[in-house]
Amino acid sequence: MTDGLMIIEGNVHQGYDAILKVKQELLSVGGNKTWWHSIRGSTVVDEAADLKTYMADVVTETTSQLANFCFRSFSNASFTLSKGDDGLPILTPHSQALMLFNLTTSTTASEKEGACTHVWA
């Protein structure tokens, strides 16, 4: 399990190193940006002996201390995980079990400042 594919808004990132890099680039270095991810519902959409694919309805709230803003976005995510020898999906971080992650955000449903419930105190 050394390869995977992450698609964010149509941008493709192939392989573990590329996936880790883009995830790190999305986070702020100084820790002044926070993301809150809430799953509003999920279903299993496909399953095989070695893989399991989920579809999730996601709300992401992004807050920034430096820019003093809050933004709420609504997304759909599908992701496929490899299974271990026990037949269960591998949920361990950095296990390279993520075979596919595809995130699409609704630009029409997303909201600007003031919409978030998780804000800086």
- Taking CB atoms within 8 Å and a gap of at least 24, the contacts of 88-93 are 89/52, 90/1
List, as one string, the DSSP characters of 21-69: HHHHHHS-TTS-EEEEEEEEEEEEEEE-SSEEEEEEEEEEEEEETTTTE
Closest residue by Cα to residue 51 from 94, 103, 1 = 1
Give how many domains the chain has, as a whole number: 1
pTM of the model: 0.71
Is position 119 within any domain? no
Q: Is the pLDDT of residue 56 over 50?
A: yes
Is position 120 within any domain? no
SS3 17: helix
- Quick one: pLDDT at residue 91? 92
What digits encode the pLDDT tens for the residues 13-54? Answer: 888 888 888 877 777 667 677 777 788 999 999 999 999 999
| DSSP 8-state code for residue 114 | T
The domain in which residue 90 lies consists of 5-22+32-111
